[in-house]
Amino acid sequence: MFEKPTLRSLVAVFVCILCYSEATAGEKIKFYFNKPVDNSVSTGTNAVYLNNSLGDTLIAYINRARYTLDIAVYNFTATAPVGPAIAVAVNNALARGVRIRWIYDGGQSNSGVPLLNTAINRLASPTTSDYTIMHNKFMVVDALSANPEDAIVWTGSANWNTQQFNNDYNNVVIIQDKPLAMAYRAHFNQMWGDTGIAPNMTLSKFGQFKTDGGAHSFVVEGRVVQVYFSPADGTNAQIQAAINTADKDLYFGMYTFTDDGDADAIAAKSGIGVYAAGIVDEYTVSVTGSEYATLSTALGARLKVLGGSDLYHSKMLIVDPSDTCADPLVLTGSHNWTASANTSNDENTLIIHSPVAANIYYQAFKKDYESMSGTLAAVGGCNTGINGPGVPLAGDNLRVGVSEGVIDIQFSTGSFGYAGVRVLNSTGVTVYTEVMNTHGGAVHSRVAVPCPGIYFVSVPLPDGHRPLVRTVSVY
C-alpha cells in the first residue's frame, strides 16, 4: 500500500469523461481575454476575446445570483460605463433577495463603492503598518445553494473598472464548482471574520494574520485545479514548482516581476533547452532589482516589455502547451511575482492542469507577444510510443498492459518522492490522474477507461526527468 501525499493531497480521481472527437474546454471552466487572441494556433477550442464586454459578462453572472454574492475586489471605481453598470446589477441583486457581502482595499479610492445600496454590508481592509493590500479580485456566486450547479467563482487579474476591463491586458477565469466555491468562500470568511451577513471586526483576519484553509486540490471536469491564497499558503513555492515542471516550453506575462527565485527558475529552464518567452509591463523594469537583468540575459529578444498608457496587468504562466505528454498547465490570478504578494498581500492563485487551458492561454499570449513585434518559434509536440508498450527506459521502467477495457500500469524507480500517473486520450484530455509516493519501490495502478480508443500513459518522475510515456490501444 502507498502512503498518501500530504502536501498536494492524493488526487486519486477517476473521472468518466465522454469520448470527444476533439479537445473541448468543457462547460464548467471558462476563460476570457480582453485583448485579441490568435485562434490560428488553436488545437480545437478557441480562446475567446471579449471586445469591451468583460463588464457585461461580469454583470451577467451577477444577474444569475439567487442566494449569495461574496465579492472581494482591490479597486472598484465609478468610471463609466463599467462601474455604474456593475453597481446597478449588484443593487438589483439585493432587491431580489440576494445576500451580499463586499470586501475592498482600504487604501484605494474604490469610488464605485458609494454607488452601492447602503444596505449592502461592506468591509475595507486595514491600512495600518501591520498590513499591505487586499489585492484579490474575485466573486463567489451562490456557494451555499442546495444545487451544486449554482456555485460559481469569478477570478483573474482584472480590477473592476473601465480601464482594467477595456484597455489594460487582463484575463478572467470562471469556474462552476461547489467545492472550489466553498474554498473561496472560506478565504472570504477569514477576512470577513464571520460566516454571516455582517462582518466581525474582532475576528477579521487579513494579510499575515490569515491561516491556511487546507483545501487546495480539486477536480473539475477531469482537470486538476489547485488554488492558493496568499500569504498563508506559500504561493510562491507553488509558482516555482509549476515553472520547474516545464519540459518543452513555457511562457509568462506579468505586471510586476520582482522575485529573484521565479526569475532564476525561468532562467534555469531556458538554460537547459526549454523554450521560454515572456512579457512584462514597463513598471517591472522601473522597480526591479536584478530580476529584469536575469530574465533579459536568459531570454534575450524573447522577453518583451509593454510600454504606453495601457498596462500589461495579466499574471499568467503557461507550461508545456506544446507537450501533452507532460503536464500542461496554466497559472493565473491576482498574484504578481513579488515578495509582498507572497508574504503579506491578500491574493489568490489558480493552477489548472489541462492541455486545453494551456493552449487557450497560448493563443492569447501569442497574440499579445506578436503585438509587441515578437515572433514565437513553433515547438514540436509530444513524442509518444517511441519505445513501445512494455519496453523499459534506462534507469526506470514502465510496463503497460490492457485487458477488458482496463489499462494495467506498473513501474518501479529508485527515486524517492511523488510520481504522477496520468492517462490521456488521443486528443490530450486527461481521463485519470493519481499522485503516489514511490518509496523507491513498485507502483501498480489499474485504470478503467471510459471508451475504446488510443490512450497515452504518462509518468512524470519525481527526479525532474522527462516523463515516461507509452501508447496503448483499448478495444
Same domain, yes or no: 419 and 308: no
Place of cell 491564497: 229
Query: 3-class SS at 251?
Result: strand
Beta partners for residue 32, in sequence order:
172
Identify the residue with better confidence: 227 or 24: 227
Same domain, yes or no: 413 and 330: no
Same domain, yes or no: 284 and 155: yes
Question: Residue 392: what pLDDT?
Answer: 30
Q: Is residue 156 part of a domain?
A: yes
Local confidence band at 413 (pLDDT 50, 70, 90 cut-offs): low
- Whole domain around residue 433: which residue ranges? 383-474
Backbone angles phi, psi at 372, to 5 degrees: -105, 25
Round to whole Å and give the CA distance between 211 and 232: 5
Of 382, 405, 432, the residue that ends a domain is: 382
List the CATH number of the domain containing 236. 3.30.870.10
Contact indicator for 48, 78 with CB cutoff of 8 Å: no
List the CATH number of the domain containing 387. 2.60.40.3080
Same domain, yes or no: 373 and 444: no
Could you read off the pLDDT of 330-369 as tens digits, one per residue?
A: 999 999 999 999 999 999 999 999 999 999 999 999 999 9
Among 156, 247, 176, residue whose Cα is nearest residue 218: 176
Same domain, yes or no: 398 and 326: no
Same domain, yes or no: 137 and 152: yes
Cis peptide before 389 (omega within 30 of 0): no
- Compute the mean pLDDT over every residue in the chain, rounded to the nearest whole number: 86
Q: Is residue 80 part of a domain?
A: yes
Q: Is residue 19 part of a domain?
A: no
Same domain, yes or no: 346 and 465: no
Same domain, yes or no: 351 and 411: no
Q: Is residue 68 part of a domain?
A: yes
Local confidence band at 15 (pLDDT 50, 70, 90 cut-offs): very low
Average pLDDT over residues 20-34: 70
Question: Residue 357: what pLDDT?
Answer: 96
The DSSP call for residue 39 is: G
Same domain, yes or no: 393 and 334: no
Beta partners for residue 311, in sequence order:
none
Q: Is residue 446 part of a domain?
A: yes
Q: How many domains does the chain have?
A: 2
Question: Residue 207: what pLDDT?
Answer: 94
Same domain, yes or no: 131 and 201: yes
Of 382, 416, 434, the residue that ends a domain is: 382
Local confidence band at 391 (pLDDT 50, 70, 90 cut-offs): very low
Same domain, yes or no: 194 and 334: yes
Query: 3-class SS at 101?
Result: strand
Same domain, yes or no: 90 and 171: yes
Place of cell 463609466: 80
Of 357, 382, 407, the residue that ends a domain is: 382
Q: Is residue 264 part of a domain?
A: yes
Q: Is residue 203 part of a domain?
A: yes
Q: Is residue 150 part of a domain?
A: yes
> Who contacts 456 (Cβ-Cβ below 8 Å, separation ≥6)?
324, 325, 382, 384, 385, 423, 424, 425, 426, 469, 470, 471
